Amino acid sequence: MRIALPTVHGGLFVLAAVISLAVAYVNVGLATALVAALLTAIAVSSFLMAQFSLYGIELTRETMMDTTCGTKTTLPLRITNRSRFFRQGVVISEKSEIFPGGKLNVAVRPLRPKESLMIARGVRLIHRGHFSLNRIAVYGGDPAGIFRKTRIFQLPGDILVAPRTVEIPSLSLRQNRKVMPGHDGRPLGIAGLGSDFFGIRPYRHGDEMRFVHWKSTAAKQHLMVMEMEASTVDRVAIVLDTHAPDIGIDEYNSNFEFLISIAATITHYLSSIYCFLSFFTSISDKQIADIHGDATGVKRRIQSLLTELRPTGTKFETLLSNALETMEPGTVLYVLSMSYTPELVEELDLLTDHHVHIHWLYAPKINFPYVDAETPLVLTPAKIKIDRTRQNVPVVLSCRTRIEDVLN
């Protein structure tokens, strides 16, 4: 355990005690001796109280729940006074990049003998990713605040902070399947991937076991599966830009973080309508991630990738060119870009000619300036030039854009 050290004002008090002793030694007298003795007694007693202020104190880390960026969560600790004496209030401090300001301080009230107290520590986490926490400092001292005692606890723990996801009632998707009208003029449903029951048929090779209808299987003595009514959209693709030079300087509210939240929101919504989802992004300068499958099945993989995703040196045009090779006609494509170039416009127009329906969301870094409490937020959209004569015109986003508005 470390030795107690003087605080800032405590250091001045100790210096005064030392000076008073020196004066009493040089000018022997009752007054100087009493002052020196008093100051020295206070300093020594304060040091001893501070030195033993954390004796018997134990700290443990309770289970932490995974959370999402910007959501208030708790990082619980349990502090216990194992001694037979009262312990005055202490301060618990933990440093980590996930905390606003890089540090989380919590004051704890005085503890009775043998008392155990749960400390919730509510905090709004601002970084996404998987983080390992360990070192926690507990600060005690004397009642006069002259000395401070520090004790370090090694308490390992992991927490996952996922990208911010917004609940949306609907998504801007275009129907790409023709639907046959019924005799009353209303469209007839067709079999496919969807959420509504369509019918029961014999099992075919490749059918998923989750669709087996066990009651009909028992009656027919061979496997029968449920068919669901097809969703209006069979295929959706998301291409996410990660080009580092196009990212704004605000570490927490950059255009990159905003597009990641949009991608997470789209993925979450699509997982409820049983469509086929493809996700493309660059995870390094030489590696491109290509995740595809049933939206419900690939949701966890995409969300995990978005949680750990970092900027790369891959240009968005290069990423989109790789995605083009697997893009099928009728796909609804969400283009999440931080750049606007003639080459990009040409590629998207080519996709439109091949019957790919495009939703282009463009987040220029100039629309995501660094913001602090003393700096007014200023946007300069006049500098953003968009050619509105082309087939594909992007929706320009800014830090004031609401995700639910742009997706609805």
- Amino acid, single-letter form, for residue 199: G
- Amino acid, single-letter form, for residue 303: Q
Choose the weakest-confidence range: 93-102, 190-199, 202-211, 259-268.
190-199
Q: Which CATH number fits domain 235-407: 3.40.50.1000, 3.20.20.70, 3.40.50.410, 3.40.462.40?
A: 3.40.50.410
CB atoms within 10 A of CB 177: 12
Write out the two tokens for 187.
């469209």
| 141-150, 176-185, 222-231, range with greatest mean pLDDT | 141-150
Q: Which CATH number fits domain 1-162: 3.40.640.10, 1.10.10.10, 3.40.50.11540, 2.60.40.10?
A: 2.60.40.10
Q: What's the rounded Cα separation, in Å, for the pair 202 and 173?
A: 32
Is residue 99 classed as helix, strand or coil in its secondary structure? coil
Burial annotation 84-116 (CB, 10 A radius, 16+ → b, else e): eeebeebebebebebbeeeebebebeebeeeee
The mean of the pLDDT values for the chain is: 85
Q: What is the pTM of this model?
A: 0.74
Q: What's the rounded Cα separation, in Å, for the pair 5 and 10?
A: 9
Choose the weakest-confidence range: 24-33, 291-300, 359-368.
24-33
What is residue 379's predicted lDDT score, i.e. its pLDDT? Answer: 59
Q: Is 127 exposed, middle or buried (0-12, 13-18, 19+ CB in 10 A)?
A: middle
Numbered ranges of CATH 3.40.50.410 in the chain: 235-407
What is residue 300's predicted lDDT score, i.e. its pLDDT? Answer: 93
Please, which pLDDT band fits residue 209 given cuts at 50, 70 and 90? confident
What is residue 161's predicted lDDT score, i.e. its pLDDT? Answer: 93
Choose the weakest-confidence range: 13-22, 255-264, 372-381.
372-381
Please, which pLDDT band fits residue 233 given cuts at 50, 70 and 90? low
What is residue 101's predicted lDDT score, i.e. its pLDDT? Answer: 82
Q: What's the rounded Cα separation, in Å, for the pair 96 and 135?
A: 9
Give the residue carrying structure tokens 């600790």: 77
Over residues 84-105, the mean pLDDT reads: 91
Please, which pLDDT band fits residue 152 given cuts at 50, 70 and 90? very high
φ/ψ (deg, to 5) at 250: -75, 115
Per-residue pLDDT at 289 exceeds 60: yes
Is residue 217 classed as helix, strand or coil in its secondary structure? helix
Numbered ranges of CATH 2.60.40.10 in the chain: 1-162
